[in-house]
Copies of this chain bind each other. A is one copy, B any other.
Amino acid sequence: MTSITAKGEPAPKEYFTGSVWVNMVVKPDDHLNSTIAKVTFEPKARTNWHSHPYGQILIVTDGIGYYQEKGKPIQIINTGDVVKIPVNVEHWHGASHESAMTHIAIVPTDQTGTVWLTPVTDIDYNKE
């Protein structure tokens, strides 16, 4: 039986800013048409801008974070929130300035295909 309890491994530096941990619990080679990970962001840490050809769902399990779609204001996300990220929409997510944030990230495909873009600058991050 797999467990989602552990923080996992450091996230790849090229796609994230700050300290981020990933526990990948469902992988493409599980053949379950999905990729599922718990991701823990320390305060101020965040993903790069990116998009998903099959969309993505985030379930916030701890802390306070930010979510932003390109061209829209930053939204504050809290424990229990479910974020539905439409197909091919550029966005980023991460912790807030003062609080860590953990979410379960569900990508409903067993193909990777995430389109990684540029880091979220401090100027953009500090707009919240």
Cβ of A121 within 8 Å of any chain B Cβ, yes or no, is no
Q: Which residues of B contact A34 (CB under 8 A)?
A: 34, 57, 106, 108
Q: For the side of the interface on A, what is the size category? A: 20 to 34
Q: Given A1-B77, A59-B104, does the pair A82, B33 have CB atoms closer than 8 Å?
A: no
Among the 9-residue stretches A8-16, A24-32, A43-51, the one with 4 or more Cβ atoms under 8 Å from chain B is A24-32
The answer, yes or no, to whether A17 is at the interface (CB within 8 Å) is no
Q: Do A82 and B4 touch (CB < 8 A)?
A: yes
A interface residues (Cβ-Cβ under 8 A, vs B): 1-5, 25-26, 30-34, 36, 54-57, 59, 75, 77, 80-84, 86-87, 104, 106, 108-109
